[in-house]
Amino acid sequence: MQNDIQEVLISEEELSTKIKELGAQLSREYEGKNPLVICVLKGAFIFMADLVKTITVPLEIDFMAVSSYGASTKSSGVVKIVKDLDVSVEGRDVLIVEDIIDSGLTLSYLIELLQNRNAKSTKVVTLFDKPTGRTVDLKADYTGFTIPDAFIVGYGLDYAEHYRNLPYIGILKPEVYSN
C-alpha cells in the first residue's frame, strides 16, 4: 500500500495541528449552543473522530452516507442518499463535516436538503478544498487545507475503497490508476 504512494502531501503531524486549530475555532463559534455535527461518510470518518475530540462545547453527532453516480475520481452531481440521518435537524444548529470539496455538487445538494428540513443554521467544515474544481458557487465556512487539483488519498479518503487507513495524505503513483 505504501508503495503505491508517490508523495506525502500532508503529514500526520500537520493534520493534527490543523485539526486542533479548527476545533478551537468551532468551540468559539458554537459557545452556548448544542450543535448537531454530521459526518458525511465514508471519507470524513477519521476527520470527524479527531475533530470532535478537540471541540469543547456539548454536541451531538450523526452520520449520513451519500454516493455520487459516475466515474470514481469525479463527482457526477447526482447524489444518492445511502444512509440518512437518525435524528431530525429541525431547529438545530447543524455542522456538516466533509472530507473534501471539489466540484461542490455533493455539498450543495446536502446543504439544500438540510435547509429544506428546517435546520436553524447550516455550516460546513471541510478538511480539504480544491477550489479549482468548483462547478457551483459554494464556500465552506471552515477549511483545513486548500490543495491543488490532484487526487489525494489517505486519512479517510479512498481510491476504489482503498488507502482510507493511511494516517497521512498522499498522492498515488499514476500507474496505480491504469492497473
Helices (H) and strands (E) counted in the chain, each on its own, are 4, 9
- Give helix 12-29 / helix 45-52 axis angle, nearest 10°: 60
Look at the block and give the residue holding cell 429544506.
116
Region binding Mg ion by CB under 5 A among candidate stretches 3-11, 33-41, 46-54, 140-148: 33-41
Cβ 118 to ligand 5GP, closest distance in Å? 24
Torsion of CA 142, 148, 151, 155, to 10 degrees: -40
Question: Nearest residue by C-beta to Mg ion?
Answer: 43
In the bound state with ligand 5GP, the residue whose beta carbon lies nearer, of 27 and 108, is 108
Distance CA 116, CA 110 (A): 10
| Catalytic residue selected from 50, 93, 99, 102 | 102
Residues 53 to 72: which contact Mg ion by CB under 5 A?
none
Residues that bind ligand 5GP (CB under 6 A): 43, 68, 75, 98-107, 151-153, 157-159
Please indicate whether residue 137 is annotated as part of the active site.
no
Half-sphere exposure of residue 71, counting CA atoms within 13 Å on the CB side? 3
Q: Which strand (E) or helix (H) includes residue 52? A: helix 45-52
In the bound state with ligand 5GP, the residue whose beta carbon lies nearer, of 41 and 57, is 41
**Residue 144: contacted member of ligand 5GP, Mg ion, none (CB under 5 to 8 Å, by partner type):** none
Contact pick of 23, 35, 43, 144 for Mg ion (by CB under 5 A): 43
**What is the bridge-based pairing of β-strands 121-129 and 93-101?**
parallel
**Residue 111: contacted member of Mg ion, ligand 5GP, none (CB under 5 to 8 Å, by partner type):** none
Residues annotated as catalytic (active site), given as ranges: 102
